[in-house]
Amino acid sequence: MSMYCSGTSNAGRLTWEIVALGAKGPYKLTMQSSQGAVVEYFRSPADALARQAELEDILAAFGRGWASGMTIGNC
């Protein structure tokens, strides 16, 4: 399983990707912008998607620009 999203924010492009590292996981979530990257590993794609949404909310709340005004639905 692999998912990819690219969008823009005030700070530039935000990309995220979920990749299955094996037939049954684990799953690697990578979120990247011009300000840096976050890489985390999960047992299920649902867990990775939940964390991706959480990170967008956190980054938007701190005003870093990664996720300002972005949601999964904007992808």
pLDDT digits (tens, 9 = 90+) for 38-75: 899 999 999 999 998 888 777 666 654 444 444 444 44
Cα 65 → chain centroid: 14
From residue 9, alpha-carbon distances to 54, 59, 67, 71 in Å are: 17, 11, 6, 11
Is there a domain that residue 35 lies in?
A: yes
Determine the structural domain holding residue 58 and report its residue range: 2-70
Residue 45 in domain: yes
In a domain, 75, yes or no: no
Is residue 7 in some structural domain?
A: yes
pLDDT confidence of residue 2? 44
Instruction: Tell me, yes or no, if the pTM score tops 0.75.
Output: no
Mean pLDDT of 25-32: 92
Number of domains in the chain: 1
